[in-house]
Amino acid sequence: MNAIISTSGLAAELAGGDPPVLLDVRWRLSTAATAGEPPFDGRAAYRDGHLPGAVFVDLESELAAVPAGRGRHPLPDPEVFGAAMRRAGVSSGAPVVVYDGGVGWAAARAWWLLRWAGHPDVRVLDGGLPSWDGPLETAQPEPAEGDFVPAWGAAGLLDADGAAALARSGLLLDARAGERYRGEVEPIDPVGGHIPGAVSAPTTENVGPDGRFLPAGELAARFRELGASTDKRVGVYCGSGVSGAHEVLALAVAGIPAELYVGSWSEWSSDPERPVAVGPDPQ
């Protein structure tokens, strides 16, 4: 099953007899504290207009737990996540489509969490809300309670030790911007650089100027050049497990399964005992 859906495909499904549950996960990585700007309010953006029938899900409180030494966006409590999904109308047997404001990172985080928690039918709207040319609504729907119960599992999830080992034995991709990987700048976390052995693979290079993913063949070629293949374990990390989920999604579009280190650089760099590599080379 494809991990993404086009706007035309979504419009057709919404007009059909079995429309998917729609989740609005608009969110933005905030540097407001340092830039002197108010933080982005996804809920306010949702109230101003959203896809018909979509329910807002908050990334910070429902798709992540409070940071406690496990990175900036650790896994959410299963009960909190499950309750949020049921409130939004998510059921185990019903398809789900997730979208955000266009970058795709937050939608990919919701996609990854639902898939990892056992939901079999989740897709991301390619290009997000900006790609939608249909009507929007401001009314907040009240869907029937869903029945989805997360089945937390270990498959597809890396911890710090697992990420370090995979950098040595398989392929660990760093989805952050190249300058953060090289350690030239670090606007958020304690120190710049990367996990030794990790390969720089900015997730921004997986999409075109319109925010949509590159064709599957082009993505597959890009990841092959980086050393990925279906017969090699592949892992991904980023700053806090959000943009890394977007790279896992891109790999899925390319037909390559990958694991996610949710704690990512924000967890790794918080421990001064963990090694840090700098510069353009993995080691």
Q: Which residues are catalytic?
A: 238
For residue 125, with 0-12 CB atoms within 10 Å meaning exposed, 13-18 middle and 19 or more buried, which class applies?
Answer: buried
3-state secondary structure of 171: strand
3-state secondary structure of 278: coil
3-state secondary structure of 163: helix
Residue 51 and residue 24 in contact, taking contact as beta carbons nearer than 8 Å: yes
Rounded CA-CA distance 148/81 in Å is 10
Tell me the torsion sign for CA atoms 71, 165, 108, 209.
positive
**Three-state SS letters, 61-96:** HHCCCCCCCCCCCCCCCHHHHHHHHHHCCCCCCCCE
